[in-house]
Structure 1
Amino acid sequence: MPSKPDLSIKESQGRKNKKPRKWVRRTGLSLLAVIFLGVVIFMLIPSPVQPAKWLAPSAPSFEQAGPWQQNNKLSSAELVTDAPKFPEFITFDKEGTLYTGDSDGKIYKVAFDGKGNPQKAQLYADTKGTPNGLMFDASGNLIVTDVQKGLLSVDPSGNVTVLADQVDGTPIYLANELDIAKDGTIYFSDTSNYGRVTFKEIAENKPHGRLLKYDPATKQTTVMLEGLYFANGVALSADEDFVLVAESYHYQLTRYWLKGPKKGTSDIFADNLAGFPDNITRDYQGHFWVGLFTTRIPFVDQMHGSPWLAGMMAKLPQSLLSGASAPVKHGLAVELNSQGKLIGSWHDPAGSLYGVTTAVNHDGYLYIGTAPGGSQGVHRVLLTK
């Protein structure tokens, strides 16, 4: 006759099995309570900014025929030098030597041989800051806009002098890019009184940038234009009747009139660009080349239409938002004529060259610079007619 099961043992095992289940259930409920409480606290914390609503225009399509249509013109880019990791801006001296800065403060120069082949990069100077804009004045000094130091002058021996770090009793918060007129006047951008690039400013969607002017004769700096949405690239027209400044966060180029009946006023030169315009350069035809650091980010455009969402995003730590504002891996530069009409766009849809800040038309090549977050080194592509 089979033995009867020991019910006391089963009951004991049942009690033991119930204990882990209760512990898991209680732990899960506790975690949910903590998460819920954290969400409530996050929602109740005031946002550090009061965002302004903006209905961003629909981005141009890369699929439709026209000047924005996608191509592979940048995909064949060759490396000129990888000495500077992030060559924000590129300029040339009268002999055709290339100069560019890096985010660690160093400025390099690259000579070319008789066949146009780049030689090994050489260290030219060190600003101990972050040099962005570079251009030679009539005396052979390299004028530099340094985001940490202000407006600088570097003599041929590499000695660095501060020309301006204040205007009207306030700091020059983030000197970014420049151009120099024939009379020596320097026009340059002060990107934002935030003093650094931060997602909070994108979320806030309010203008904090300025266009400044430095007079080398009087050594005085004045404000030309205020209320710019992340003031960036700067370029004079061929006749110097106006100066352009890029407003990166509103996808547009603004024109400030220096001569003529509109002198002292501003208007929009080009708008609804397909990305965030960075630097502007002018070529021998009087055309403007613009590097677009990233193509449009749909989430950012949607966020601008919802101040509540933008305010929530601004609460998050910058470290968590770096991915949200990282450049799309799609290289892009554009050419505009002197009236602001888009002539054509240059793409690398594969993203081997991206985070484009500068496009310089020089001696049959288009030279490309980038910034942190993008690809590294100076590149160039052959310009074809």
Structure 2
Amino acid sequence: MPNTQVRSVKSTEGVNRPKGSPRKIVRRFLLSLLTLLVLGMIVFLLIPSPIEPAKWSAPTAPSFEESGPWKQNNKLSSAQLVTDAPKSPEFITFDKEGQLYTGDSDGKIYKVAFDAEGNPQKAQVFADTKGTPNGLIFDANGNLIVTDVKKGLLSINPSGSIEVLADQVDGKPIYLANELDIAKDGAIYFSDTSNYGSVTFKEIAENKPHGRLLKYDPKTKQTTILLEGLYFANGVALSVDEDFVLVAESYHYQLTRYWLKGPKKGTSDIFADNLAGFPDNITRDEQGHFWVGIFTTRLSFVDQMHSNPWLASTMAKIPQSLLSGASAPVKHGLAVELSPQGELIGSWHDPEGTLYGITTAIKHNGYLYIGTAPGGSLGLHRVLLTK
């Protein structure tokens, strides 16, 4: 019996003895966690990338600190809210009576009237495309022509009835109808941003052109392709003489010119390059000058990624939901004015970032009206133009 009792005590002591000190337990846990992270990283690096990026050495971005037309100012910092009914008023246009129209990302198109003193009244819903209306301009018949990224090219009559003008070209879908302008003869020039069909970080990382410039002829009801191979085709605007049409290539910081008349008809060239950010929409004022909204100033990481295909292909593996911050607009409002020849006349800034993510800048009745897109500041604003 004594020997049995001794063995029993030893067995009990073995069960109750601590397996290790708290410090050792934490050390084992951290080592296990590190092992899992290393294994996870190895697996992530071995997964094939969904893209084969093209290498590109982006030009050095213009400086906001140096003197010249890019020099930073606060011209947009005093912006007045016109309406907050549309959260993301991508584009802005006016009818013959001076009423403002803009769309929102939820499909609604709003109308804003002004009183005798020019004060904006409460926004009213004019139509609902059930899509995402971006560009909108009135044609000669009073119909609102709309480029909707989900529905294609639309026409909305004064009572709000919607007709699809085009959602295909050459038997294939119009993937992402974005912006437009209308010529005096009724021809509609508009951009099909990308055959990706949506805005995705993978396309930025891939750095290959997937956009197009299209033309719709209301007489024949036919849509044709004018230009292909554009780096995220965006804003569109005709020159005052309609001898060329511009289309913004957001991902290469440039505006491309397609000639409609003259000896260069049917060819294209660069109208303005090395902009200080991603150009979005283009509007033309009464002087024939072009105004361009800059959705975000240059992102140094993106420029570095373009010069490093391995980094780009690796970033493309990360789920889009985790990369929303990587391509979010910098909180620095910016719009630029260009001459009819493409020379930079001036830039308008809000360095405090109260107004940012700018897509549209359009002059009307002594004001510069400002539109934004999702990711930017909310609501439609305007800034009084100084003479």
TM superposition score normalised by structure 1: 0.96
Paired letter, 1:364: G
Establish whether residue 332 from structure 1 lines up as the match of residue 334 from structure 2: yes
TM-fit CA distance, 1:20? 3.8
Q: Distance in 1 between matches of 2:19 and 2:219?
A: 87
Establish whether residue 169 from structure 1 lines up as the match of residue 156 from structure 2: no
2:3 maps to none
2:49 maps to 47
1:190 maps to 192
1:297 maps to 299
Equivalences for residues 1-385 of structure 1 within 5 A: 16=18, 18-385=20-387
TM-fit CA distance, 1:148? 0.2
TM-fit CA distance, 1:19? 4.8
Q: Distance in 2 between matches of 1:361 and 1:20?
A: 69
Q: Distance in 1 between matches of 2:318 and 2:39?
A: 17
Q: Percent identity?
A: 82
Q: Distance in 2 between matches of 1:370 and 1:94?
A: 24
Query: What 5-or-longer segments of structure 2 have no aligned partner?
Result: 1-9
After superposition, give the CA deviation of every residue in 1:305-332 in whole Å (9 maximum; x if it has no partner). Answer: 0000000000001111110100000000
**Which aligned runs of 4 or more in structure 1 are off by greater than 6 angstroms?**
none
Secondary structure, counterpart of 1:18 in structure 2: coil
Q: Distance in 2 between matches of 1:372 and 1:192?
A: 18
TM-fit CA distance, 1:15? 5.4
Q: Distance in 2 between matches of 1:119 and 1:298?
A: 41
Bigger CA drift: 22-31 or 316-325?
Answer: 22-31
Q: Distance in 1 between matches of 2:98 and 2:343?
A: 29
Secondary structure, counterpart of 1:315 in structure 2: coil
TM-fit CA distance, 1:25? 2.8
Q: Distance in 2 between matches of 1:59 and 1:21?
A: 51
Q: Distance in 1 between matches of 2:30 and 2:90?
A: 50
1:5 maps to none
Q: Distance in 2 between matches of 1:273 and 1:45?
A: 36
CA RMSD of aligned residues (A): 1.5
Secondary structure, counterpart of 2:72 in structure 1: coil
After superposition, give the CA deviation of every residue in 1:227-272 in whole Å (9 maximum; x if it has no partner). Answer: 0000000000000000000000000000000000000000000000
Q: Distance in 2 between matches of 1:60 and 1:19?
A: 59
Query: What 5-or-longer segments of structure 1 have no aligned partner?
Result: 1-7
Q: Distance in 2 between matches of 1:301 and 1:25?
A: 41
TM-fit CA distance, 1:298? 0.4
Name the count of aligned residue pairs: 376
TM-fit CA distance, 1:181? 0.2
TM-fit CA distance, 1:21? 3.9
Q: Distance in 1 between matches of 2:65 and 2:295?
A: 20
After superposition, give the CA deviation of every residue in 1:160-179 in whole Å (9 maximum; x if it has no partner). Answer: 11000000011000000000
Secondary structure, counterpart of 2:302 in structure 1: helix
Secondary structure, counterpart of 2:305 in structure 1: helix
Q: Distance in 1 between matches of 2:224 and 2:133?
A: 21
Q: Distance in 1 between matches of 2:110 and 2:23?
A: 66
Paired letter, 1:196: S
TM-fit CA distance, 1:22? 3.9
Secondary structure, counterpart of 1:68 in structure 2: coil
After superposition, give the CA deviation of every residue in 1:15-69 in whole Å (9 maximum; x if it has no partner). Answer: 5372544433332222111111100000000100000000000000000000000
Q: Distance in 2 between matches of 1:215 and 1:357?
A: 27
After superposition, give the CA deviation of every residue in 1:183-222 in whole Å (9 maximum; x if it has no partner). Answer: 0000000000000000000000000000000000000000
Q: Distance in 2 between matches of 1:127 and 1:319?
A: 26
Q: Distance in 2 between matches of 1:28 and 1:146?
A: 52
Paired letter, 2:69: P
Q: Distance in 2 between matches of 1:23 and 1:116?
A: 72
TM-fit CA distance, 1:333? 0.2
Paired letter, 1:69: K
Secondary structure, counterpart of 1:95 in structure 2: coil
After superposition, give the CA deviation of every residue in 1:58-111 in whole Å (9 maximum; x if it has no partner). Answer: 000000000000000000000001111100000001110000000000000101
Paired letter, 1:281: T
Secondary structure, counterpart of 2:266 in structure 1: coil
